[in-house]
Amino acid sequence: MSTFVYMTRCDGCGHCVDICPSDIMHIDETIRRAVNIEPNFCWECYSCVKACPNHAIDVRGYADFAPMGHSVRVRREEEKGTISWKIKFRNGNEKNFVSPITTKPWGKFIPKLAEEASPNQGEINSQRLYTEPNGLNIDGDLPTISKDTFKKGVYY
Amino acid sequence: MFYNNPFSGLTELVSPLAVQGFTILMVGLVAFGTLMDIIHKKNVKYFFNNAKKAKQNAKVVLSTGQRTSVILKTVAHDIATTAELGRGKRRVAHVLGMYGTIIFWITSALLIFSFPTAGSTTPSAITIMWHVGAIITCVGGYWFWLFLRVDVLAEAHPWYRIIKADLFVLALLACATFGLAWSYTQFSGMIELSYLFLVLYITSNLVLFGGVYWSKFAHMFYKPGAAIQKNLAEADGSRDNLPPLADAPKQFGLGIKREQPKHY
Amino acid sequence: MTKVKTHFEESDVLIVGGGMAGTGATFEARHWGKDLKIVCVEKANIDRSGAVAQGLYAINCYMGMQWNENQPEDHVRYARNDLMGMVREDLGYDMARHVDSTVHMFDEWGLPMMKNEKTGRYLREGKWQIMIHGESYKPIVAEAAKKSADKIYNRIMITHLLMDDEKENRIGGAVGFNMRTGDYHVFKAKTVIVAAGGASHIFKPRAVGEGMGRTWYAPWSNGSAYALPIAVGAKMTQMENRIVLCRFKDGYGPVGAYFLHLKTYTQNANGENYEKKWYDHTKNLVGEYIDHHPTPTCLRNHAFIQEVMAGGGPIHMVTTEAFQDPHLETVGWENFLGMTVGQAVVWASQNIDPKYTNPELTTSEPYVMGSHATCSGAWVSGPEDLSPPEYFWGYNRMLTVDGLFGAGDTVGGSAHKFSSGSFTEGRLAAKAAVKYIEDKKADGIKVSEKQYTDLKEVIYKPLENYTVGRNEITGGTVSPSYISPIQGLQRLQRIMDEYVGGIATNYMTNENMLNRGLELLKWLEEDLENVGAEDYHQLMRAWELKHRTVTSQCVTEHTKFRTETRWPGYYYRGDHLKLDDENWHCLTVSRRDPKTKEFTMEKVPVYHIVDEKKEKKAS
């Protein structure tokens, strides 16, 4: 597959270089624009496609098995919390999808644990994790099992 | 220095006609280089083929009036303010470099063609703007060169690493820098040095305008064309096969995009 | 090559890997260690790194204890059954009892979870799975880690763990290099939590050109989860338990939502339900396991593989019925877009609209990892209240090296954790690591300069190999004195494919083949001293290859040791073509001696801490 970059749209901002989990988006030395240097290590994860501010990156399905003439393009809009997809088949059929990507402002409801209350004395010796047992929304404490029931090496 | 017309000093050595002829040659080199690029790479052919293909996906047909409006808006906004670079330092640096160069070139042409021998009677507005243009070019250009280039910022290459893509910006910076140095040394009476910088200035211009075929110079013609095509595609609904903007309020702030692309 | 700069960092907790498990560990560590120094090191960029880079459409591990949907015992029974009895039930129970609090946090943080309109509960895809719009799953959990950590290092590949020079078998930190700056990084730490990736690309994939990139598990999961602990002599378990997946052809797109939510089913090319045909055949192999409900994943694979070998292929999934419902059609497509966009690309390119065409399925090449329907990984201690004495040595999720912890793919025996379970396991490991520090177990660690300067030379050698060796030839990729990372990778993949049960042999192997595989792997290991890297990116690929090779050796040793066919459909021992509960109802554990590189293997009892639920057999 893999990703490729449109000459007319890329302005060499580096967001794709910065985000690629495979480290395969790099800057071409002749034109100082992005290029996929290792398409056979591209997972089609679309991280670079979504990150590009100019929509300069697109995907062409893997040459091993994807016939030409298709298009799967995306628009990730962080501030709106949406992701929009447009799929075009080789035969021209089209499908469109829009999904939410967050329900809350980014990071706002993620706690900074350094500023939260410390665990109680001795809590570290318990089996409870942060927010528990309340965070499990169950009655009572964390489930456990009595060791009397353990069966060694035989099957049930 | 700002009132100095360095070309007047030059025309004491060579005839104004020679200087003007050289300038026309530079313009010719740009045209020639760009034409060679277009013929060899067939990029204009690709561009118009692509535009035709995209038109087939158009949801609406734009009238001439609508097309003109889009084109004018593109020129006034996308091109004049380098909108494609978004908000941030790269855009500011590019705008500085762009207008600095435009001012520098226009005032150069005025000095060369209208006031080649005028000396101290040259209108100060023009000489000031010639120097200011060069300085602004340097501010934008060196800022870009040292800090903002993506291969330096995102790929951690050292600022002194030079690649083929640097041909244009380095030649441009050389012209502006050596031009200023030439004017300063000429004005201060450092004659030998001023000749050195004159030679460097001329060489830089030759590299800049002669190197069009190998550098990114011609992109200053291609990019506006691309911007116009992009906005026309947005207007007629084809949008390069991209989905439309989502119909939802901007309420969640920025996530990954709040930081610059430098995580290493 | 300019002189390489060395950077030092000291921390209390060092988390290697910033994926689901790593972010879980980093996040939770701050709660228990308010004043501790917490550092996470990630090979790529934590915002999109790991297996969840493109997102997920379902959280596959959620009990729903609050609604009495499942209890931890149910998870244990499920995982045990799916892995043909071979799991660490203590680890599974432990993860399952905590995973709900993890998922509730994700909900609070902004991860869009689909809700059942009638009941208001999280919308179930199946018994264990709930559906999410998880395109931004990774950035959300990455932000949680960033808020907890003192520092997150990106673009640094950890190549080796450091050991304490003072006290034997105690961890001292880790080292690696920055693939942008090229700098050397030495991390001294009191505890290390390995939360790196499992192993894709150790067996030859079905697509070998550009399509190599379309692995089921991320191509950047290079087995560091295993190679790092193996190298320091930590014990590993169940490394033979590789996983084969039945997924959509070419794109390896997920089928879970299709089977569970859309209620689709499979058929062979003649429109038959082929699975029933192989009942007797499978019963001959594994006995009464075939009667368990649900049918273990490997046995379903087995039927698929046999049917294809017998000429009944291609196998299709019948979608044309379900896709008539527009809601289900949307789910079917969004399932890919939020998780495996590549499958949508494949279908768009081949004009496959599941409304009118029943798409083809395939079985993948094998993968080795620890968080899915498989549980290869390190041998770790369980929690005190749940672990039999043989499974507990002081600190939950600690490996057999003091101060070295694991989470996610790294940990063996805890299957079916998926994303939420891996994050949870990270939380468990982090808490235990902090306790380890508070118990003063990490006092007095000394890492000698010799240790990390020796490693520096080893780490950068591939660059040297290339630069010097390059002088021998005029150009090109063929050199008699060095191999490139891709050349080495293709050789590794071929060895595993042909001898250790890859698709070349329809997952079949035997002792003769395994011995030949070990021999070839040994030569590859030797040749990797001569891998040549042109730049820092290639250096990273070189170390990915080295980690993959060590992992492969361990996998092969384990596969040789277990002389039975426990998971037909994952792999077959042609010389022991039966499940052998009498001799092999146990776990396998190995240890590679750090100096001699010799593997020693042992059997370890499997403890069943949860009874089988008395329920009627499936009809």
Closest Cα in chain A to C137: A101
A43 part of the active site: yes
B264 vs C136, C143, C180: nearest CB: C180
Tokens for C12, please give them.
């209390």
**pLDDT range class, residue A1, cuts 50, 70, 90:** low
Note whether A107 contacts B: Cβ–Cβ < 8 A.
Answer: yes
Closest Cα in chain C to A100: C133
- Tell me the residues of chain B between 136 and 165 that have a Cβ less than 8 Å away from chain C: 155-156
- Is 60 exceeded by the pLDDT of residue C617? no
pLDDT in tens, C208-236: 999 999 999 999 999 999 999 999 999 99
Dihedral angle at the C-alpha atoms of A6, A12, A15, A18, nearest 10 degrees? 110
Chains that touch A (3 or more CB pairs under 8 A): B, C
Closest Cα in chain C to A25: C537
pLDDT in tens, A8-19: 999 999 999 999
Note whether A55 contacts B: Cβ–Cβ < 8 A.
Answer: yes
- Is 80 exceeded by the pLDDT of residue C614? no
For CA atoms C349, C354, C360, C363, the dihedral sign is positive
Interface mutation vs chain A, best among B217, B228, B256, most A CBs within 10 Å:
B256
According to DSSP, the residues that pair with C193 across neighbouring strands are: C15, C405
Query: Contact, C138 vs A76, CB < 8 A?
Result: no
ipTM confidence: 0.96
Helix-helix angle C89-109:C137-148, to 10 degrees:
90
Query: Contact, C218 vs C200, CB < 8 A?
Result: yes
Interface mutation vs chain A, best among C76, C101, C611, most A CBs within 10 Å:
C101
Tokens for C382, please give them.
């369980």
C139 vs B256, B263, B264: nearest CB: B256
Closest Cα in chain B to A23: B155
pLDDT in tens, C148-204: 999 999 999 999 999 999 999 999 999 999 999 999 999 999 999 999 999 999 999
Note whether C219 contacts A: Cβ–Cβ < 8 A.
Answer: yes
pLDDT in tens, B152-196: 999 999 999 999 999 999 999 999 999 999 999 999 999 999 999
Closest Cα in chain A to B162: A29
Closest Cα in chain A to C85: A155
Query: Contact, C197 vs C221, CB < 8 A?
Result: yes
How near does any CA of chain A get to the CA of B186, in Å? 37
**pLDDT range class, residue A150, cuts 50, 70, 90:** confident
User: Residue B27 carries which side chain, given as an amino acid letter?
Assistant: V
pLDDT in tens, B197-221: 999 999 999 999 999 999 999 999 9
pLDDT in tens, C307-346: 999 999 999 999 999 999 999 999 999 999 999 999 999 9
Query: Contact, C382 vs C392, CB < 8 A?
Result: yes
Which pLDDT value is given to residue A154?
A: 52
- Is 80 exceeded by the pLDDT of residue C84? yes
How near does any CA of chain A get to the CA of C448, in Å? 32
Tokens for C87, please give them.
């799991």
How near does any CA of chain B get to the CA of A151, in Å? 49
Closest Cα in chain C to B261: C45
Residues 6+ positions from B45 with CB-CB distance below 8 Å:
none
How near does any CA of chain C get to the CA of B156, in Å? 6
Which pLDDT value is given to residue A146?
A: 84
Which pLDDT value is given to residue C612?
A: 82
B153 vs A14, A71, A104: nearest CB: A14
Note whether C53 contacts B: Cβ–Cβ < 8 A.
Answer: no
Note whether C489 contacts A: Cβ–Cβ < 8 A.
Answer: no
Q: How far apart are CA C586 and CA C519, in angstroms?
A: 27
Say whether A107 and B255 touch across the interface (CB within 8 A).
yes
Mean pLDDT of chain A: 94
Chain C residues in contact with A71 by the CB 8 A cut-off are: 348
Chains that touch B (3 or more CB pairs under 8 A): A, C
Say whether B264 and C155 touch across the interface (CB within 8 A).
yes
Interface size, chain B vs chain C, as Cβ–Cβ contacts under 8 Å: 23
According to DSSP, the residues that pair with C439 across neighbouring strands are: none
C44 vs A21, A70, A103: nearest CB: A21
Which pLDDT value is given to residue C619?
A: 40
DSSP string, B170-239: HHHHHHHHHHHHHHHHHHTT-HHHHHHHHHHHHHHHHHHHHGGGTSSTTHHHHHHHHHHHHHHHHHTT-G
Which pLDDT value is given to residue C249?
A: 97
Locate all alpha helices (DSSP H) within chain B, ordered by sequence: 6-10, 16-41, 43-55, 64-73, 89-114, 124-143, 150-153, 167-187, 191-210, 219-235
- Tell me the residues of chain A between 5 and 34 that have a Cβ less than 8 Å away from chain B: 8-9, 11-15, 17-19, 26-32
Chain A residues in contact with B86 by the CB 8 A cut-off are: 13, 53
- Is 70 exceeded by the pLDDT of residue A84? yes
Say whether B246 and A107 touch across the interface (CB within 8 A).
no
Say whether B250 and A55 touch across the interface (CB within 8 A).
no
A23 vs C109, C209, C537: nearest CB: C537
Which pLDDT value is given to residue B56?
A: 84
How near does any CA of chain A get to the CA of B13, in Å? 39
How near does any CA of chain B get to the CA of A127, in Å? 34
Chains that touch C (3 or more CB pairs under 8 A): A, B
**pLDDT range class, residue C2, cuts 50, 70, 90:** low
**Considering only CA atoms, which of C7, C61, C71 is closest in space to residue C39?**
C7
Which is it for strands A82-88 and A151-152: parallel, antiparallel or unpaired?
A: unpaired
Interface mutation vs chain C, best among A42, A65, A118, most C CBs within 10 Å:
A65
Which pLDDT value is given to residue A148?
A: 77
Which pLDDT value is given to residue C586?
A: 95
Say whether B256 and C178 touch across the interface (CB within 8 A).
no
- Is 60 exceeded by the pLDDT of residue C1? no
Note whether C287 contacts A: Cβ–Cβ < 8 A.
Answer: no
How near does any CA of chain A get to the CA of C606, in Å? 5
Which pLDDT value is given to residue C53?
A: 97
**Considering only CA atoms, which of C371, C377, C300, C372 is closest in space to residue C567?**
C300
pLDDT in tens, C28-58: 999 999 999 999 999 999 999 999 999 999 9
pLDDT in tens, C545-594: 999 999 999 999 999 999 999 999 999 999 999 999 999 999 999 999 99
Mean pLDDT within C436-463: 97
**pLDDT range class, residue C611, cuts 50, 70, 90:** confident
Say whether C45 and B255 touch across the interface (CB within 8 A).
no
How near does any CA of chain B get to the CA of A5, in Å? 13
Mean pLDDT of chain C: 96
How near does any CA of chain B get to the CA of A154, in Å? 51
- Is 50 exceeded by the pLDDT of residue C618? no
Residues 6+ positions from C230 with CB-CB distance below 8 Å:
C236, C550, C551, C554, C592
Q: Which residue in the list A11, A18, A43, A102 is annotated as catalytic?
A: A43
Chain C residues in contact with A106 by the CB 8 A cut-off are: 110, 139-140, 143
Note whether C461 contacts B: Cβ–Cβ < 8 A.
Answer: no
Note whether B243 contacts C: Cβ–Cβ < 8 A.
Answer: no
The three-state DSSP-derived secondary structure of C57-85 is EEECCCCCHHHCCCCHHHHHHHHHHHCCC
- Is 90 exceeded by the pLDDT of residue A142? yes
Note whether C71 contacts A: Cβ–Cβ < 8 A.
Answer: yes
- Is 70 exceeded by the pLDDT of residue A155? no
Say whether A82 and B248 touch across the interface (CB within 8 A).
yes
In the predicted model, residues of chain B with pLDDT beneath 70 are: none
Interface mutation vs chain B, best among C181, C183, C341, C345, most B CBs within 10 Å:
C181
pLDDT in tens, C283-307: 999 999 999 999 999 999 999 999 9
Note whether A73 contacts C: Cβ–Cβ < 8 A.
Answer: no
Interface mutation vs chain B, best among A6, A23, A27, A110, most B CBs within 10 Å:
A27
Judge if the upstream peptide bond of residue A39 is cis by omega within 30 degrees of 0: no
